[in-house]
């Protein structure tokens, strides 16, 4: 996995696991790889992966069945969307609006680009 310097590695792993849950790689109620397995797959220290798993568990996205492993929590997809939506609305959008103001881009131009994006 290629990591960016602008964000802690453990949070990039959190994002990756959340993306995997959202895209169905890991289903709600299904098992996720062990900390060691995941660490090996993304080529990081197991302690870094453990920090990611701890974050996900603290945010009710995964849970641990002692002696069995980690599983995706019921409602994880909804929780991920809620968390990401909050970050987007409170961090990304204000910066986006500030940038379009600095560049003198109208909201109509933005809306037109949104319509053209192909979805």
For residue 118, pLDDT over 80 is answered with no
Which CATH architecture best describes the domain 9-76?
Answer: Orthogonal Bundle (1.10)
| Token reading at 119 | 């979805």
Write out pLDDT tens, residues 73-85. 999 999 999 999 9
Contact between 61 and 67 (Cβ < 8 Å) = no
Write out pLDDT tens, residues 13-45. 999 999 999 999 999 999 999 999 999 999 999
- Nearest CA among 4, 70, 65, 62 for reference residue 36: 70
Q: pLDDT above 90 covers what percent of the chain?
A: 92
Please name the residues in contact with 106: beta carbons below 8 A apart, sequence gap of 6 or more.
Answer: 100
* Residue 19 phi, psi (nearest 5): -60, -40
Q: What is the pLDDT of residue 119?
A: 63
For residue 2, pLDDT over 90 is answered with no
Q: Where in the chain is the domain with CATH 1.10.10.10?
A: 9-76
| Token reading at 48 | 């870094």
């Amino acid at each position: 996995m290629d990591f960016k310097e602008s964000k802690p590695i453990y949070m990039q792993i959190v994002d990756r696991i959340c993306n995997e849950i959202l895209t169905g790689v890991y289903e709600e109620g299904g098992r996720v790889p062990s900390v060691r397995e995941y660490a090996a797959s993304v080529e990081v220290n197991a302690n870094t992966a453990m920090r990611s798993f701890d974050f996900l568990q603290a945010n009710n996205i995964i849970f641990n069945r002692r002696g069995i492993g980690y599983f995706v929590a019921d409602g994880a997809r909804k929780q991920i969307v809620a968390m990401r939506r909050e970050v987007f609305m409170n961090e990304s959008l204000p910066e986006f609006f500030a940038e379009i103001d600095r560049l003198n881009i109208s909201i109509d131009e933005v809306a037109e680009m949104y319509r053209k994006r192909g979805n």
